[in-house]
Amino acid sequence: MIEAPKNCLILCPPFMERELIILNNLGLHARPAAEFVRCARKFKSTILIRKDGAEYSAASILDILSANLDCGSRMVLIAEGRDAQQALDQLAEMLVQFKKQEEE
């Protein structure tokens, strides 16, 4: 039997995922990271970010900041649960809004 590393969360199908690129110049620094986490915590689904082979909880500010989500970073947003589609849609839109706010 193969065991997952202790810091790895295994999601079983069905789950949804979406590849995204961080577009705002400062990336997900403290303020937008906190907003992102607050939004992720509203959902019942388990939401993860996969970047460079590592997985981070979207509901943890420490995980988000540890992921080094700088401008141009590629990540995969993964959600498992009954509101997974809504979670992906809202979190992806939030990333777009961060860029728009920066341009204002």
Domain count along the chain = 1
Residue 50 lies inside a defined structural domain of this protein:
yes
Confidence of residue 104 (pLDDT cuts 50, 70, 90): confident
Residue 2 lies inside a defined structural domain of this protein:
no
pTM of the model: 0.83
Confidence of residue 3 (pLDDT cuts 50, 70, 90): very low
Higher per-residue pLDDT: 27 or 104: 27
Point out the residues that are catalytic: 29
The tens digit of pLDDT for each residue in 36-90 reads: 999 999 999 999 999 999 999 999 999 999 999 999 999 999 999 999 999 999 9
Residue 6 lies inside a defined structural domain of this protein:
no
Residue 9 lies inside a defined structural domain of this protein:
no
pLDDT score at 13: 55
CATH number of domain containing 20: 3.30.1340.10
pLDDT score at 72: 96
Residue 7 lies inside a defined structural domain of this protein:
no
Q: Residue 25 is part of which domain span? A: 16-103
Which helix (DSSP H) or strand (DSSP E) does residue 37 occupy?
helix 30-41
Residue 95 lies inside a defined structural domain of this protein:
yes
Identify the CA nearest to 49 among candidates 92, 78, 90: 78
